[in-house]
Amino acid sequence: MGCGRGRALIAPAEAYPGSSYVGYDAFESTVKLARTNAEVAGLADRVRFEA
């Protein structure tokens, strides 16, 4: 299952600050967008995305 733009992982990371998450997607362009969204949310240190 793809991570899409990352919201499905960013939201719980915001709610649970002691946790970390990894999302996967088949499309590199989508992964780049998800990474950007995590950076904007200030969560790039706890939310990671891979293609």
Q: What is the pLDDT of residues 33-48, one digit of tens each?
A: 999 999 999 999 999 9
Residue 22 domain-assigned?
Answer: yes
3-state secondary structure the chain: CCCCCCHHHHHHHHHCCCCCEEEECCCHHHHHHHHHHHHHCCCCCCEEEEC
Residue 25 domain-assigned?
Answer: yes
Q: Please calculate the CA angle 48-49-51 and round it to the nearest 5 degrees.
A: 150
Range of the domain at 22: 7-50
Residue 18 domain-assigned?
Answer: yes
CA distance 26 to 41: 23
Residue 2 domain-assigned?
Answer: no
Structure-block tokens of residue 32: 């780049």
The better pLDDT of the pair 1, 2 is held by 2
Report the share of the chain in percent with pLDDT over 70.
98
Report the share of the chain in percent with pLDDT over 90.
96
Residue 33 domain-assigned?
Answer: yes
When divided into structural domains, the chain yields a total of 1
